[in-house]
C-alpha cells in the first residue's frame, strides 16, 4: 500500500497543478496520474463567472445528449403503456410496468431505482407519492426529460450514458461526468467540447454565460485546470 502511495506522489510531482493545461494535455495528465484498480470516472467542474456588482441567480437546467457515453449507469423504473413495455425491456431495463410498481412504492416504500421515466398518464398517481419520492428527488420532471410520450428514445440514451442534465449548484458550479479513464481520448474530448459549447449558449438575463474556470479530475485523482 505504501509503495502504491509513493508511486502516486511521484506521478503528481511531475506536474504543476496551479498551471493551466490544454484539453488534450489535461486528459493525458489525468490518465497518467490515475492510480485506482477500478475504471475511474473523469469529472468536469465548471465555475460560472458571476456579475461582480450583482450576482446573477443561476437557476437553469439543460438536458443534453452527449456524443459518447459518460459511463454512468443508472437503475431505471419505466412506468409506461403496455405497448411500450416489451421494447423497453429489450434495452435491459429491469423495472418496467405500471400500477404494480406504483403500489409497491406506496405500500412498501420501495425505492430501488435511480430515476423514473414515465408519461403524463402515470404522473397523476406519482404526484400523490410526493412525500415518498420528493425527499429523494425522484419525482419525474418535464424539464429533465423524464416525462415523455417517447420513453424508448429517452431510456436508450440514459442506458447508453449519453443523457445528462447540467445545472449549477448554489455556488455557480456545474459538475458532470464526461467519461471513464479507459475511454479513448477523442471520445472524452468530444464530450467535453460539446458540453462547453452548449453551456456557452445559455443566457441569463439576456447575457451568455461566461466561464471562469474549468477543472477535470478522475476519481481520487488530482484536479487539472483547463486553459479555455
- Is the pLDDT at 205 greater than 90, yes or no? no
User: What confidence tens digit (pLDDT) does each residue in 132-164 have?
Assistant: 999 888 999 888 889 999 999 999 999 989 999
> CA-CA distance, 177 to 40, in Å (whole number)?
11
Catalogue all structural domains in the chain, each as residue range(s) with its CATH number.
17-70+161-226 (3.30.190.20), 76-159 (3.40.50.790)
More confident residue, 224 or 210: 224
- Torsion from C-alpha of 131, 134, 138, 144, nearest 10 degrees: 140
> CA-CA distance, 146 to 150, in Å (whole number)?
10
Joined together, the cell numbers standing for residue 171 give 455556488
pLDDT of residue 91: 94
Q: What is the mean pLDDT of residues 1-9?
A: 54
Q: Are strands 210-218 and 223-226 parallel, antiparallel or unpaired?
A: antiparallel
- Is the pLDDT at 115 greater than 70, yes or no? yes
Q: What is the mean pLDDT of residues 75-85?
A: 96
Per-residue confidence band for 57, with pLDDT thresholds at 50, 70 and 90: low
pTM reported for the whole predicted model: 0.81
> CA-CA distance, 38 to 193, in Å (whole number)?
26
- Average per-residue pLDDT for the chain: 89
More confident residue, 192 or 6: 192
Contacts of 86 (CB under 8 A, 6+ apart): none
> CA-CA distance, 7 to 10, in Å (whole number)?
5
- Is the pLDDT at 28 greater than 50, yes or no? yes
Per-residue confidence band for 1, with pLDDT thresholds at 50, 70 and 90: very low
Q: Which of 4-8, 11-15, 193-197, 218-222 has the lowest mean pLDDT?
A: 4-8
Amino acid at each position: 500500500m505504501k509503495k502504491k502511495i509513493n508511486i502516486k506522489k511521484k506521478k503528481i510531482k511531475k506536474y504543476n497543478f496551479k498551471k493551466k493545461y490544454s484539453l488534450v494535455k489535461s486528459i493525458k495528465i489525468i490518465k497518467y496520474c490515475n492510480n485506482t484498480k477500478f475504471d475511474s470516472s473523469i469529472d468536469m467542474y465548471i465555475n460560472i463567472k458571476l456579475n461582480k456588482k450583482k450576482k446573477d441567480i443561476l437557476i437553469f437546467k439543460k438536458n443534453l445528449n452527449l456524443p459518447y457515453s459518460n459511463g454512468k449507469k443508472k437503475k431505471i423504473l419505466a412506468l409506461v403503456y403496455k405497448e411500450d413495455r416489451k421494447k423497453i425491456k429489450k434495452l435491459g431495463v429491469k423495472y418496467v410496468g405500471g400500477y404494480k410498481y406504483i403500489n409497491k412504492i406506496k405500500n412498501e416504500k420501495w425505492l430501488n431505482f435511480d430515476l423514473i421515466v414515465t408519461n403524463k398518464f402515470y404522473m397523476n398517481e406519482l404526484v400523490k407519492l410526493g412525500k415518498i419520492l420528493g425527499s429523494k428527488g425522484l419525482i419525474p420532471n418535464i424539464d429533465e426529460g423524464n416525462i415523455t410520450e417517447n420513453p424508448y428514445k429517452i431510456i436508450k440514451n440514459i442506458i447508453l450514458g449519453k443523457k445528462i442534465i447540467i445545472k449549477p449548484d448554489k455556488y455557480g458550479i456545474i459538475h458532470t461526468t464526461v467519461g471513464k479513464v479507459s475511454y479513448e481520448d477523442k471520445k472524452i474530448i468530444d464530450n467535453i467540447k460539446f458540453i462547453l459549447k452548449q453551456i456557452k449558449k445559455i443566457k441569463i438575463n439576456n447575457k451568455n454565460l461566461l466561464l471562469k474556470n474549468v477543472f477535470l479530475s478522475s476519481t481520487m485523482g488530482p484536479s487539472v485546470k483547463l486553459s479555455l
